[in-house]
Amino acid sequence: MSPSSDTRSKVITTFRDQPTFSCAQCAAVIALQDELISKAFSGRDGRGYLMHSAVNLKMGRREERPLLTGVHTVADVYCMGCNDRMGWYYHKASDHSQKYKEGKYLLEREKLVKENNWKLDG
């Protein structure tokens, strides 16, 4: 599926009443806040969040990309709701010290909205 194809109907609703990160463009849920590993990462457009998992994303093609910590095999990830590029998925790290990133997502902070889902008892 190409990033430009229409996938809005495929967005799933998940994580009822749990704190999440959502797409800033279309409000599709992208990840649980509990899946956050680190806020100390850099994306293409600023700060990034390293996440254990994410949903409502489709993967672009795999490529070797030089990043701040060396060359990694990554694939850009796109929101299923609006096709906005949200960050990338780490397939493989060439440097042994970077292997912990494999199988994780880097999500661009500016592309996310933090949804706390707090309930006020009145």
pLDDT tens, residue order, the chain (122 aa): 444 445 455 556 556 778 999 999 999 999 999 999 999 999 988 999 999 999 999 999 999 999 888 999 999 999 999 999 999 999 999 899 999 999 999 999 999 999 886 666 65
Cβ–Cβ under 8 Å, residues 23 and 113: yes
CB neighbour class for 69 (10 Å; exposed up to 12, middle 13-18, buried from 19): middle
Residue 12 confidence (pLDDT): 60
Residue 71 confidence (pLDDT): 92
Look up the pTM and report it. 0.84
Residue 14 confidence (pLDDT): 59
Residue 116 confidence (pLDDT): 85
SS3 98: helix
CA distance 78 to 68: 22
Residue 98 confidence (pLDDT): 94
Cα-to-chain-centroid distance, residue 22: 10
Neighbours of 32 (CB within 10 A): 18
